[in-house]
Structure formats: structure tokens, C-alpha cells
């Protein structure tokens, strides 16, 4: 692998001088760039080793999830709707089966942090009454049999308001707060017939990719309780992977609908920007220019449920439904499939053999079984993905993170809180304080006006143009979601730049679908990849996800299956 190293803009005259006047100048520059890249890679491996050592504190805990014993837990949402609609299955029966499963697995994974089980059972009984009347009297004026999610249990990410439920985003200061009204996206899923069972765990202020906070504690990966679920939709992905629910709603500003499904072996879809209603989500974007980064979206155990749930999520927006036209047929034979196995950034964790092997399996299937065109992607600017995301996030005059965390009632003194946290006296996680200190250092107005900052913003625009050109006519990019399996708890701090693999596509405003590809041979943990298309071409990534799921099976249980 050749890594192109770009020198600082202020050194461009030196580079030009060497190239023109020094014998073998280009060769010398190539050697220097390779030496620097190797040096950076050595540092990266050292940092990863430190994180692995930190993770040794958490003993491996595989095969702890109780076996699946009821057949209803293994059906897709689409299949269950057909059963409730035809009267083969009572909604109450379905809801009780999933409530029992949540009660069984949640003490182990800490995914569902507040429930409304009693309300869910009452709703299910009411649906059963309406269904019976509609089936027995065809003349009755009730559209209950046409509801697309009729009787299906669903959970919602805790940062999205659900009436009567907490909406803390993991902040201790909001631990007693309760929501008075559903967010629009929750109204949409209820109107479609889904039955809300509760809300799921998140990181503190949704700031990290490890779901842990001082209100609810840590969520755990069902495949290995010593490993993280990802964030910030970590609780949602974990409860689905453990067969506690089938579908759910999450949000994504930098990878939260993809990283948790990758770590937990399920499916997620980050919609094209501006296509979903995010009103009511806490925390807020902070500034209008950041709205393109934040989307709500579906998380599902089965790929076939992504599109139906996505359509429900945007059901209140006729313009979005028309623009996306999700039911328009997709002919993937006309698409070109670009593969990127690594982004080229030597300061990120090297892509593991399991992830590479998974990408190659997908490519072999497309080329040999389907006869599709697959091409190696050449995207040099992709190596700067994390810098592009950070610069875009900070390129506005929004209130500071320290202000947002205290809900604009002053400013968080992150330094003091960090010191207090060392002695267990702070109500904020140490990583939250570190994020505030980092933002204070790099997101000042003075920094935004510097030449290197503007160059990064410009690189983001160039990357968008390159991707849009490459993904014309329904073409698709397939690449890692992250370089490796879920880290151990406490093993994420020095790996944060790995999230550039996902966060850059929020800046690009493109749809991305995370695909589950089973369990890795070496890691014994879920593996998969993300599929990217041009903005508003969501139907292409969803169709490709269904194609891969049909071939490779998708989700695999983290436990035994013992159906009597």
C-alpha cells in the first residue's frame, strides 16, 4: 500500500524546489513521505496496544446471553405484521413475548433504560379489539389492517422524546426530566401501528462511541459483555442483537446509526441529509449549519425491515417521500460497485483481516455470482475524513460545547470537572470533559480563519465533488465502517479518529447503509461494512443491503436457539 503524505501548505515552495532542482527530487520526497507514514503507523500500533492493555481489566465474557426459546423472536417485522393483520397472531401475545425477552437479557446488557410495558400491553389489547372487529365486519371504517407496522414492538433511542419517558441524553442534571409529548418521528411509528416498549441507552450527551453515562451506566455487547456496543445508538443495537426487539429508531451525527450495528451485528441506515424530522431531539444541533449532519433513522435486525421502517419515519414529509421514491425499482446490474479497503490514513488503526476478508467475500459474490462490475476505488482525500468532519462541525458560530452541556445556563468548567472526576466526584464523564477542553482549543474563531483550517474545509468540498462524480447513475461505494471489531470497555479513547470512516459521510450528506455479515473467523465478533450512494439514492444502498443479507444471512444470534 502506497500512502501519499501531504506536506503543510506553508512548505509547498520547499517541495517545489526539491522536485525541480534536486536530483531525484521526487524520489526523495516519496522516500521521506514513506518514512513519515511508517513512523506514524508505529505510533498508531503503540497507541492501539495501550488500549488493548487497558481493556485487559475487562475479562472476556462470551456466551452469557440466555438462549432464544420462542419462535416469534426470530421473525422479521414484515412477517409479524402479516400475522397480526390476518388474525393469526394476537398483538398482546407478540408484545408479551418481547417484554419477557427484554426482562431476561437486559440485566446483562443494560440496553433498555426505561420501559412502558404496561402501556404497551394496553395498546396491544386495543389493536386486537380493532383487528377482530375489522376482520369480522368488512364494512367497518377502520384502517387498522393497512397499518404498516401493526402490533410490532419497537424501542426508541433515549435522546428522541417519547411521552412519559426520560430524555436525559445521559446527563445527570436531567435524570428526573420526563417528556410531555412524543417527537414527530415517534408519532409516525405509533400512527403506523408500532408499539413502543421503552427507550434505550446512550453515551453522555451523545458525545462518544462507547455507550456509558452517570445516569444509567454502561451498555454491554451481547456477543462479549466485556466489549462496547458502540455509540451513540448503542443501547438500541444491543437490545436488537440480543433478540429483545426487531426494529428501533436512532439518530446519527457522525456514525451512530452504523457503528453500533457494526459492533452488534445488525443493520442500520443513515438517511440522506434533510430527509428526516429531528425536532425535539436532545441535544440539539447547536446551529443551523450543522443540521445537515444530524439525521434520525432505522435500526433493524433484518435488512428487509429497513425500508418499511424508513418510510414510516418520514411519513409526515410528503416532499421527502417524493424525493426519495423508495418504492421505485432498483436494477443493481446497472450499478458500478467501488471497493475501498482502507482509507490510507496511517494514524488510524489498520483494517483487520476479518474486515478485509468480509469485504472480499462481498466482492467475490458480486463479481462471480451476480456478474456485477466491481472497481478498486481511488480516493486520496479520504485519508483526511476525520479532520474534514471536525472542521465542518466547528465551522460555525454555534454556542460552545461547554455551554450546550449545561443547556446554555453558563459554561462547564471542564478542567475542574476533570480533576473532580479523577476522584469520582464529578457528575460528568472524563471523556466529556476532554471533549470540551479539545473544542475550546481548536474551535475558536481565530483557528477557523487560519489557512490550514480553510484548506481542510476546501478538501471536504473537493471530496464531495469526487464522490458525487464517482457515484453517478446509481453506483455504490463499499468500505469499512470501522477498522476492527468492538473494543473492550475503556479501550476507545486513543482510537477516536477511527470514526472518520463514518463521520465524513454526514458531511457529504450521503445515504449509508450498514450491513451485517455474520461473525468474523478470527475475532469471533460481528463483522460487516457500510454501503454509500449519492444523496437521495437511499433506495440503492437499501437494495444492496437486502441482496447481501439474502446471500450471507446477516444477523447471527449471540446465543443458542432452543425452540421447542
List active site positions: 157, 232, 256
* CA 252/CA 320 separation, integer angstroms: 18
**Are residues 543 and 330 in contact, defined by beta-carbon separation less than 8 angstroms?**
yes
Q: Where are the alpha helices (DSSP H) in 374-521?
A: 385-394, 401-405, 414-422, 430-442, 445-448, 451-470, 500-508
* CA 190/CA 541 separation, integer angstroms: 26
* CA 155/CA 197 separation, integer angstroms: 6
Closest CA to 531 of 551, 507, 547: 547
Strand partners, 268: 299, 514
| Helix axis angle, 451-470 to 500-508, nearest 10° | 80
**Are residues 274 and 292 in contact, defined by beta-carbon separation less than 8 angstroms?**
yes
Closest CA to 259 of 562, 1, 505: 505
Give SS3 for 533. coil
**Are residues 481 and 254 in contact, defined by beta-carbon separation less than 8 angstroms?**
no
Question: In Å, how far are 40, 259, 349 from 346, measured between CA atoms?
Answer: 6, 21, 8
348 phi-psi bin (left φ>0, alpha ψ -120 to 50, beta other): beta
Cell 476492527 locates to 484
Amino acid at each position: 500500500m502506497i500512502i501519499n503524505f501531504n506536506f503543510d501548505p506553508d512548505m509547498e515552495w520547499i517541495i517545489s524546489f526539491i522536485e525541480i532542482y534536486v536530483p531525484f527530487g521526487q524520489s526523495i520526497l516519496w522516500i521521506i513521505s514513506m518514512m513519515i507514514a511508517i513512523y506514524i503507523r508505529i505510533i498508531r500500533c503503540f497507541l492501539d496496544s495501550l488500549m488493548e492493555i487497558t481493556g485487559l481489566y475487562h475479562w472476556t465474557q462470551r456466551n452469557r446471553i440466555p438462549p432464544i426459546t420462542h419462535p416469534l423472536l426470530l421473525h422479521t417485522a414484515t412477517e409479524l405484521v402479516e400475522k397480526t393483520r390476518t388474525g393469526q397472531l394476537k398483538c398482546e401475545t407478540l408484545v408479551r413475548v418481547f417484554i419477557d425477552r427484554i426482562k431476561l437479557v437486559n440485566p446483562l446488557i443494560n440496553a433498555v433504560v426505561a420501559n412502558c410495558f404496561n402501556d404497551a400491553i394496553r395498546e396491544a389489547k386495543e389493536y386486537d379489539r380493532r383487528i377482530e372487529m375489522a376482520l369480522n365486519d368488512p364494512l367497518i371504517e377502520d384502517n387498522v389492517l393497512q397499518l404498516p407496522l401493526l402490533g410490532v414492538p419497537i424501542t426508541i433511542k433515549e435522546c428522541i422524546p417519547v411521552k412519559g419517558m426520560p430524555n436525559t441524553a445521559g446527563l445527570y442534571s436531567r435524570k428526573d426530566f420526563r417528556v410531555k409529548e412524543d417527537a414527530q418521528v415517534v408519532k409516525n411509528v405509533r400512527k403506523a401501528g408500532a408499539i413502543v416498549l421503552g427507550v434505550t441507552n446512550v453515551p453522555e450527551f451523545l458525545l462518544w462511541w462507547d455507550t456509558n453515562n452517570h445516569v444509567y451506566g454502561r451498555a454491554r455487547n451481547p456477543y462479549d459483555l466485556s466489549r462496547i456496543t458502540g455509540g451513540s445508538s448503542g443501547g438500541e443495537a444491543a437490545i436488537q442483537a440480543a433478540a429483545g426487539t426487531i426494529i428501533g429508531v436512532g439518530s446519527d451525527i457522525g456514525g451512530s446509526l452504523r457503528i453500533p450495528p457494526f459492533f452488534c451485528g445488525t443493520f442500520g441506515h443513515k438517511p440522506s441529509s434533510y430527509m428526516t424530522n429531528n425536532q425535539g431531539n436532545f441535544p440539539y444541533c447547536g446551529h443551523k449549519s450543522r443540521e445537515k449532519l444530524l439525521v434520525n433513522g432505522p435500526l433493524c435486525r433484518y435488512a428487509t425491515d429497513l425500508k418499511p421502517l424508513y418510510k414510516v419515519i418520514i411519513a409526515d414529509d410528503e416532499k421527502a417521500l417524493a424525493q426519495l421514491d423508495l418504492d421505485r425499482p432498483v436494477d443493481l446490474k446497472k450499478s458500478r460497485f467501488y471497493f475501498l479497503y482502507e482509507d490510507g490514513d496511517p494514524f488510524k488503526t489498520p483494517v483487520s483481516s476479518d474486515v478485509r476478508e468480509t469485504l472480499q467475500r462481498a466482492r467475490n459474490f458480486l463479481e462471480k455470482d451476480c456478474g456485477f462490475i466491481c472497481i478498486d476505488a481511488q480516493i486520496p482525500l479520504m485519508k483526511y475524513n476525520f479532520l474534514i468532519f471536525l472542521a465542518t462541525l466547528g465551522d460555525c458560530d454555534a454556542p460552545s460545547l461547554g455551554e450546550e452541556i449545561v443547556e446554555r445556563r453558563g459554561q462547564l468548567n471542564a478542567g475542574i470537572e476533570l480533576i473532580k472526576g479523577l476522584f469520582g466526584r464529578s457528575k460528568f464523564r472524563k471523556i466529556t470533559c476532554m471533549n470540551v477542553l479539545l473544542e475550546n482549543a481548536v474551535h475558536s474563531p481565530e483557528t477557523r480563519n487560519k489557512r490550514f483550517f480553510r484548506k481542510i474545509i476546501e478538501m471536504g468540498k473537493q471530496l464531495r465533488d469526487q464522490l458525487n462524480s464517482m457515484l453517478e447513475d446509481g453506483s455504490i461505494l463499499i468500505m469499512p465502517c470501522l477498522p476492527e471489531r468492538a473494543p473492550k470497555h475503556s479501550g476507545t479513547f486513543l482510537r477516536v479518529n477511527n470514526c472518520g470512516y463514518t463521520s465524513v459521510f454526514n458531511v457529504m450528506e450521503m445515504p449509508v447503509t450498514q450491513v451485517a455479515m455474520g461473525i468474523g473467523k478470527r475475532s469471533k465478533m460481528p463483522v460487516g461494512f457500510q454501503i454509500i450512494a449519492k444523496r437521495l439514492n437511499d433506495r440503492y444502498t437499501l437494495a444492496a443491503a437486502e441482496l447481501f443479507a439474502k446471500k450471507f444471512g446477516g444477523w447471527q444470534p449471540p446465543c443458542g436457539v432452543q425452540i421447542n
